[in-house]
Amino acid sequence: MISPQMTLITLLCVPTVVAVGTIFGALLRSVSIRAQVQGEKTTAVADEAVANMRTVRAFAMEENEEQLFQEEAALAMNLNIHLGFGIGWFQAGTNLFLNGMVLATIYMGGYLLSTNQLSPGELMSYLMATQTIQRSLAQISLLFGSVIRGMASGTRVFEYMEMKPSIPLHGGLIIPEDKLKGNIEFKNVQFAYPTRSEQTVLKDFNLSIPAGKTVAIVGASGNGKSTVVALLERFYDVNGGCILLDGNDLRSLDPSWLRKRALGLISQEPILFGTSILENIRYGKPDASDEEVVKAARLANAHEFITNFPQGYSTLVGERGATLSGGQKQRIAIARALLKNPTVLLLDEATSALDTESEKIVQAALDKAQHGRTVIVIAHRLSTVQNADIIVVLHRGKIVEMGNHESLKKLKGYYWSLTYQQQEPPAG
Ligand SMILES: Nc1ncnc2c1ncn2[C@@H]1O[C@H](COP(=O)(O)OP(=O)(O)OP(=O)(O)O)[C@@H](O)[C@H]1O
């Protein structure tokens, strides 16, 4: 005989546990996501301090960094404690409830047995069934914490996986080798960075660079020189107008091909990887042979100093190239860029961080590297760009003067005043 009271106990208990678990789960999942975001922030603070260790030490900021880390870690700890308590309370409550269900079955069964409404056999089978349900639900409640944490992590992983880059990596036209010349044209380019859309960086920017010519872009700091390079590399798309490479809109070209084959970028801060010199140069063209690497190193005036190291090309450069001088790092970066034999070379303040002696050596390497390519040089020190075919003066995102060194000097305008400012005071 089926006892309606005892069936009712089971029917009430199971959905209650499931409903409470669902509501509680949603609450705890949001705490878990917050705890993970805070954990990431804490790691980022530590990461930044370790990566910029020399700056931290030079400014004696160790204690401040430690305090900043402790504050972020304390927030992460509090959120994790809340999460732990939440999961703990849920597990304790569920176990209490489920054991109460068994107790209620025994109590109700005992009463029904004493009033002859239930046989001992029926009570036993009720008890067995209740215990099976109790054990299964108790197991689920044990897994509850892992499920909550796993779901929160999964959500964040899938969020990242589903992010679409605004500029795709692949897809689009590839200019055949025999048609790739290196003519560049900026037509009425307008641009503002997405994070600061109210500040127009380039306005009505028009510039035509014939293949094989060297163009220098100069101007005071913050006038948009590096932005020109960033747009050519298609790190961002223009807001208006267009940029053409051999008559093709950059947006129609395959971005991966553009960066891998057509353009070679050398910036102020060469970033090296913590591996050997050989591998760092080969980064420019992963399938390059050792001979090609050596050829590129020679072109970059790097071969000699590399072979002077006891381990030659196998020398490990340390994290971010920490065991090399600025000039050596820059020449490795030049060799890396030259290895892919780019049609257009972009030099963004490539020698600005170097002292006069290293600058001379690196400049000599760059002069060799510029041969037969379209080159865009961005420079602060005007002495390094006097030989450029065209010098463009940028002021507040607009071209205000254009010509060669002599013609611009005669104008006695922006270029002349920039040169004047940089003139070294007479000795003595
Ligand atoms: N990622 C960015 N997000 C928002 N604004 C930016 C970004 N990068 C640069 N800017 C802003 O764009 C303007 C032009 O910067 P850009 O780096 O092109 O100048 P620059 O002439 O190369 O300066 P410098 O000679 O100091 O390197 C500046 O006002 C700068 O603050």
Comparing 59-63, 123-127, 334-338, 360-364, the range with the smallest average pLDDT is 360-364
Bridge partners (DSSP) listed for residue 215: 376, 390
Confidence of residue 17 (pLDDT cuts 50, 70, 90): confident
- Ligand 1 centroid–CA 269 distance in Å is 16
> What phi, psi does 345 have (nearest 5°)?
-110, 130
In this structure, the number of other CB atoms found within 10 A of the CB of residue 132 comes to: 10
Q: Whose CA is nearest to atom 10 of ligand 1?
A: 193
Q: Is the dihedral of CA 130, 133, 136, 141 positive or negative?
A: negative
Confidence of residue 353 (pLDDT cuts 50, 70, 90): low
- Ligand 1 centroid–CA 403 distance in Å is 24
Confidence of residue 246 (pLDDT cuts 50, 70, 90): very high
Closest CA to 91 of 39, 45, 158, 137: 137
ipTM field: 0.94
Q: Does position 1 have pLDDT exceeding 60, yes or no?
A: no
Alpha-carbon torsion, ordered 346, 350, 352, 353, to 10 deg: 140
Radius of gyration of the chain (CA): 34
User: Across residues 366-372, what is the average pLDDT?
Assistant: 79
Q: Whose CA is nearest to atom 7 of ligand 1?
A: 193
| Share above pLDDT 90 across residues of the chain, in percent, rounded to a whole number | 32
Mutate to test the pocket of ligand 1, among 201, 228, 239, 377 (most ligand atoms within 8 A of CB): 201
In single-letter form, the type of residue at position 182 comes to G
Q: Whose CA is nearest to atom 26 of ligand 1?
A: 221
Confidence of residue 122 (pLDDT cuts 50, 70, 90): confident
Tell me the pLDDT tens digit for each residue of 133-143: 878 877 877 78
- Ligand 1 centroid–CA 187 distance in Å is 20
CB 320 within 8 A of CB 207: no
Closest CA to 82 of 152, 35, 23: 35
Q: What pLDDT is attached to residue 7?
A: 76
Q: What pLDDT is attached to residue 234?
A: 93
Closest CA to 93 of 26, 16, 9, 12: 16
Mutate to test the pocket of ligand 1, among 197, 226, 380 (most ligand atoms within 8 A of CB): 226
CB 376 within 8 A of CB 229: yes
Closest CA to 184 of 259, 246, 266, 258: 246
Which long-range contacts (C-beta less than 8 Å, at least 24 apart) are formed by 202-208? 202/227, 202/228, 202/231, 202/238, 202/397, 202/398, 203/396, 203/397, 203/398, 204/241, 204/398, 205/241, 205/397, 205/398, 205/399, 206/399, 207/392, 207/399, 208/183, 208/184
Tell me the pLDDT tens digit for each residue of 372-409: 889 999 987 787 788 889 999 988 888 898 888 888 88
Round the average pLDDT of the chain to a whole number and report it: 86
User: Across residues 45-58, what is the average pLDDT?
Assistant: 91
Mutate to test the pocket of ligand 1, among 198, 217, 227 (most ligand atoms within 8 A of CB): 227
- Ligand 1 centroid–CA 226 distance in Å is 7
Q: Whose CA is nearest to atom 29 of ligand 1?
A: 222
Residues lining ligand 1, CB < 6 A?
193, 195-196, 201, 219, 221-227
- Ligand 1 centroid–CA 395 distance in Å is 12
Mutate to test the pocket of ligand 1, among 218, 223, 269 (most ligand atoms within 8 A of CB): 223
User: Across residues 180-204, what is the average pLDDT?
Assistant: 91
In single-letter form, the type of residue at position 302 comes to A
In single-letter form, the type of residue at position 37 comes to V
Closest ligand 1 atom to residue 380 Cα is 25
* More confident position, 184 or 11: 184
Closest ligand 1 atom to residue 349 Cα is 27
Per DSSP bridges, beta strands 202-209 and 184-191 are: antiparallel
- Ligand 1 centroid–CA 224 distance in Å is 6
Q: What pLDDT is attached to residue 44?
A: 94
- Ligand 1 centroid–CA 9 distance in Å is 70
> Residues near 16 by Cβ (< 8 Å), separated by ≥ 6?
97
Structure tokens given for 99: 């054991």
Closest ligand 1 atom to residue 219 Cα is 21
- Ligand 1 centroid–CA 339 distance in Å is 29
DSSP E strand boundaries for 192-262: 202-209, 214-218, 240-245, 248-249
Q: What pLDDT is attached to residue 427?
A: 47
Tell me the pLDDT tens digit for each residue of 62-101: 999 999 999 999 999 999 999 999 888 888 888 888 888 7
DSSP character at residue 173: B
Q: What pLDDT is attached to residue 428?
A: 44
Closest ligand 1 atom to residue 378 Cα is 22
